[in-house]
A and B are shown apart, each in its own frame.
Chain A
Amino acid sequence: MKFCNRIIIAACAAALAAAPAWAQFKPTKPVEFIVHTGPGGGADVLARFISQVIEKENLAPVRFQVNNRDGGGGLRAMAYVAEKKGDTHAIAVFTGNWLTNPLTRAEAQHTVKDMTPIVRLVLEPALVAVKADAPYKTLKDFIDAAKKAPGTMKQSGGSITSRDNVVRQLLMKETNSSWAYISFPGGGERIAALLGGHVNMMIIEPQEAGEHIKAGGMRVIAQVSDKRLAGFPNIPTIKESGFDIPNVPQVRGILMPPGVAPDVVAYYEDLFLRLSKTATWRKYLEEQQFEDGFQKSAELSRFFDTYTNQMRDILKEAGAKVVR
């Protein structure tokens, strides 16, 4: 019921905040929807889905036009957004990369603190998976094995700033164990390395793992999530497995260029609140096994700070060079 309450409170707050705002601001021309990946990337798929829902459900008087500004691990899109100072017809999808990458990249000229937070939309949980014929039935089995032979167990994942590695760092620190982290650029290669028996463990998105579990190639031993996912009711979360580490969600949401007036912020906040309540959106979350991570501008701004600080410490421990 807590969830319903939150929605109701949020709705009331939005109604209060937005009622006068509607009179003041309404987009009058197509809104530019900036994403930092090329067509087909995670943020791009989300943005295209959102603009479809907005159009289909008639949530806004104008169209939302996706603009791909890919490159530099999100830095190019960030620079583009930052340059649009005061533009009321431009929004962007942000992800964890927007928060993390400027920390390690001296080339970055902007951080999310320079921009206007609008809403947080989804939190993507993950699963800890091993090959189906591996001897580890629980996360503890795996960690015990890693303790027995430090450095010989292997995990496949993305870059060292990715969530996969962050969870590994936290677990290694908590349990005083160590295993190798092998970076692969593509998700397919990471899975192939696990299924081929070349690594022992990986952290994978639920819908990516589904078919491999069904086909009997992969076994899930823990969930990287605050609460158990509907699709995996019998798998404990990392905390439930007895490892007290903070949850590291993959976050996605919406932000705007710097210097946007409060009434504009209120309009977009309300737009996405209405979006998050449509049946289409709920169904999407369910299908993708995402958690609803809805947060409004003020809350999101605080989230940016805590998340960035948390990541800064973790990255330092992971051995990355932190520049800001």
Chain B
Amino acid sequence: MEILTSLGHGFAVALEPLNLFWCFVGVFLGTAVGVMPGLGPAATIAMLLPLTFNMPPTTAVIMLAGIYYGAKYGGSTTAILLNVPGESASVVTCLDGYQMARKGRAGAALGIAAISSFIAGTVGVVGLMLLAPPLAKFGLSFSSPEYFALMFMGLAMVVLLAGESMIKALLAMLVGLWIASMGIDLFSDASRFTFGRSEMLDGVDFVIVAIGVFALGEVFGNMEKREEGVMLPVPKGLRNLLPTMAELKACRFAFLNGSIVGFIIGVLPGAGSTIASFISYGIEKAVSKHPEKFGTGVPEGVAAPEGANNSETGGAMVPLLTLGIPGSGTTAILLAAFILWGLRPGPLMIQENPDLFWGLVASMYVGNVMLLVLNLPLIPLFAQILKLREYILYPIIFGISIIGVYAVSSSLFDCWMLVVFGLLGYAVRRLDYPSAPLILGLVLGDSMERALRQSLMMSQGDLSILVSRPISATMLVLAVILLCLPLFRRANAWRVKALEENG
């Protein structure tokens, strides 16, 4: 009951006209930033920070948080329509979202992404509201061995992302791991694979690889087929631009899966939304009745990662607000903002600043509704992009990609890197290697290596630290089961075949 009173109070704060207005500005800007590849919520919040100095802190927090979760809504748009991930966590959405668009279901994919984002975003806020303090403690019990096990489980997903050939998937994953190892090694300060270039000291930006491999690879690949005219079918009529009941029904479990996985991983300060979306996609595929269809444009493949991506926001707010511990670049900047206003998020904030905490929680409900209302009507509009002829569309994708990369770093070197990875993406396509395992290796490689080395430093080189802790042992067992999954399937297929032959 106490929570309901507090929440009621929060809504009173969130529904004040001033707060409502800035909440809208926040989610609108967030969507816009999410749609644009490259420019992310972290940089946007930092740039708009000075604007908020004259606002009451609660209003400012409501707006900045709106940018944060609004960007997650927008990220799927270019991923689905153009195969250009709008922000890092949308990479997984490309896998099935773009394929849906190619089948003429672009509107449906966008709709599912919006609905899933809405459901999961709301679930994330409910989780934040009800579970924040106990969950924050749970997050702290995670240390390097647990993170290693989590990343290992993520990497084991490769068996689910592999297409025809497991060997090709593993090779692609290794290339991803190799790219992840580039740059300065945190532990020894030695530089690895920098080829003597100071630009390479930070390693390769994930966004560059993702845009290069997905978007440019796709453009290069399609440029070969010049004879084909209009590329993507766009059905006429509003009804055909929205998801059908059957599609929504297929996503039932994905909505739930994405919401829960995203929230839990969000609570952990050392993971992130990209990992969350990969894992929920993997789970979705593992439990699916038709796993072979994933990657060809199934709605669940859009719903699960988009959901995870959005409920991760609610999860990430848990350690930020209750412990003052930021788990990602964006939450770190939010924390810096809090400090500038003289607010110190921490265990005492809920009691000391109920207006702010409950106002923020309530505004996130309001903001999620705004985002749904804002995004659904835009879908038919966005879908029209696909009506462009390819000789117009491809240069546009090219331009958006380059601008996106340049906007992040204002470095021409990075633009050349983009071209290199575009060519890699093209090669991968031509040689029939799957690109998802490459991205998976890249996302997990760095944090997985770090977690392993941290664990071994903690145990003075004793590997048993990885299996002697219950949470990490459980996840490692799950990972091994995951790795064996293709073997079971093969055995099963063989048994079925044998039975049929006998029968």
Q: In the bound complex, what is the Cα–Cα distance between A183 and B270 (angstroms)?
A: 13
Which chain B positions have C-beta within 8 A of A198?
143-144, 458
The reply to whether B187 and A180 form a contact with Cβ atoms under 8 Å apart is no
Which chain A positions have C-beta within 8 A of B187?
159-160, 183
| Minimal Cβ-Cβ distance residue in A for B330 | A40
Which chain B positions have C-beta within 8 A of A20?
none
The reply to whether A210 and B143 form a contact with Cβ atoms under 8 Å apart is no
A152 CB within 8 Å of chain B? yes
- Which of A52, A188, A210, A287 makes the CB contact (< 8 A) with B325? A188
B86 CB within 8 Å of chain A? no
A271 CB within 8 Å of chain B? no
- Which of B190, B325, B333 makes the CB contact (< 8 A) with A191? B325
Q: In the bound complex, what is the Cα–Cα distance between A44 and B332 (angstroms)?
A: 14
- Which of B43, B194, B269, B346 makes the CB contact (< 8 A) with A38? B43
B487 to chain A, nearest CB (A): 36
- Which of B46, B142, B331 makes the CB contact (< 8 A) with A44? B46
B339 CB within 8 Å of chain A? yes
A115 CB within 8 Å of chain B? no
A26 CB within 8 Å of chain B? no
Q: In the bound complex, what is the Cα–Cα distance between A181 and B325 (angstroms)?
A: 20
- Which of B144, B197, B336, B346 makes the CB contact (< 8 A) with A215? B346
Which chain A positions have C-beta within 8 A of B141?
196
Q: A211 and B326 in contact (CB under 8 A), knowing A106-B196, A107-B194, A195-B140?
A: no
Which chain B positions have C-beta within 8 A of A17?
none
Q: A72 and B189 in contact (CB under 8 A), knowing A183-B454, A212-B324?
A: no
Which chain B positions have C-beta within 8 A of A75?
198, 201
Q: In the bound complex, what is the Cα–Cα distance between A76 and B198 (angstroms)?
A: 7
B347 CB within 8 Å of chain A? yes
The reply to whether B186 and A105 form a contact with Cβ atoms under 8 Å apart is no
A227 to chain B, nearest CB (A): 24
Q: A107 and B186 in contact (CB under 8 A), knowing A193-B143, A215-B347, A215-B348?
A: no
Restricting to A129-185, which residues have a CB under 8 Å from any CB of B? 151-152, 154, 158-161, 180-185
The reply to whether A211 and B50 form a contact with Cβ atoms under 8 Å apart is no
Restricting to A207-243, which residues have a CB under 8 Å from any CB of B? 207, 210-212, 214-217
B181 to chain A, nearest CB (A): 14
Q: A39 and B43 in contact (CB under 8 A), knowing A188-B269, A195-B323?
A: yes
B142 to chain A, nearest CB (A): 7
A89 CB within 8 Å of chain B? no
- Which of B45, B144, B202, B325 makes the CB contact (< 8 A) with A71? B202
| Minimal Cβ-Cβ distance residue in A for B460 | A151
A232 to chain B, nearest CB (A): 16
- Which of B45, B199, B323, B336 makes the CB contact (< 8 A) with A192? B323
Interface residues contributed by chain B, number (CB under 8 Å): 58
B409 CB within 8 Å of chain A? yes
| Minimal Cβ-Cβ distance residue in B for A210 | B344
Q: In the bound complex, what is the Cα–Cα distance between A152 and B465 (angstroms)?
A: 14
- Which of A191, A192, A207, A217 makes the CB contact (< 8 A) with B347? A217
The reply to whether A320 and B188 form a contact with Cβ atoms under 8 Å apart is yes
The reply to whether A180 and B457 form a contact with Cβ atoms under 8 Å apart is yes
Interface size range of chain A in the complex: 35 or more
The reply to whether A107 and B201 form a contact with Cβ atoms under 8 Å apart is yes
Q: A71 and B142 in contact (CB under 8 A), knowing A38-B46, A39-B46, A107-B198?
A: no
B399 to chain A, nearest CB (A): 23
A15 to chain B, nearest CB (A): 32
Which chain A positions have C-beta within 8 A of B324?
191, 211-212
B221 CB within 8 Å of chain A? no
The reply to whether A182 and B198 form a contact with Cβ atoms under 8 Å apart is no
Which chain A positions have C-beta within 8 A of B347?
211, 215-217
A277 CB within 8 Å of chain B? no
Q: In the bound complex, what is the Cα–Cα distance between A154 and B456 (angstroms)?
A: 12
Q: In the bound complex, what is the Cα–Cα distance between A311 and B75 (angstroms)?
A: 44
B319 CB within 8 Å of chain A? yes
A286 CB within 8 Å of chain B? no
Which chain B positions have C-beta within 8 A of A70?
409
Q: In the bound complex, what is the Cα–Cα distance between A191 and B139 (angstroms)?
A: 12
Which chain B positions have C-beta within 8 A of A159?
184, 186-187, 189
Which chain B positions have C-beta within 8 A of A68?
410
A133 to chain B, nearest CB (A): 13
The reply to whether B458 and A186 form a contact with Cβ atoms under 8 Å apart is no
B148 to chain A, nearest CB (A): 13
- Which of A158, A188, A199, A212 makes the CB contact (< 8 A) with B346? A212
The reply to whether A211 and B332 form a contact with Cβ atoms under 8 Å apart is no
Q: In the bound complex, what is the Cα–Cα distance between A201 and B50 (angstroms)?
A: 35
A48 CB within 8 Å of chain B? yes
Which chain A positions have C-beta within 8 A of B143?
193, 196, 198
B329 to chain A, nearest CB (A): 8
The reply to whether A321 and B190 form a contact with Cβ atoms under 8 Å apart is yes
Q: In the bound complex, what is the Cα–Cα distance between A216 and B198 (angstroms)?
A: 43
Restricting to A28-65, which residues have a CB under 8 Å from any CB of B? 38-40, 44-45, 48, 52
Which chain B positions have C-beta within 8 A of A181?
457
The reply to whether A152 and B140 form a contact with Cβ atoms under 8 Å apart is no
The reply to whether B197 and A182 form a contact with Cβ atoms under 8 Å apart is no
24 of the cross-chain contacts (CB-CB < 8 Å) are A38-B46, A39-B42, A40-B49, A52-B50, A71-B199, A105-B184, A105-B191, A107-B198, A107-B200, A108-B198, A158-B186, A180-B457, A182-B458, A183-B450, A185-B186, A185-B450, A188-B319, A192-B139, A192-B140, A193-B144, A196-B141, A211-B345, A212-B324, A217-B347
A38-B43, A159-B189, A186-B327 provided; 11 other pairs, C-beta below 8 A?
A: A38-B46, A40-B329, A76-B199, A107-B196, A180-B458, A182-B144, A187-B326, A189-B325, A191-B324, A192-B319, A193-B143
**Residues of A in contact with B (beta carbons under 8 Å apart):** 38-40, 44-45, 48, 52, 68-73, 75-76, 79, 104-109, 151-152, 154, 158-161, 180-189, 191-193, 195-196, 198-199, 207, 210-212, 214-217, 287, 319-321
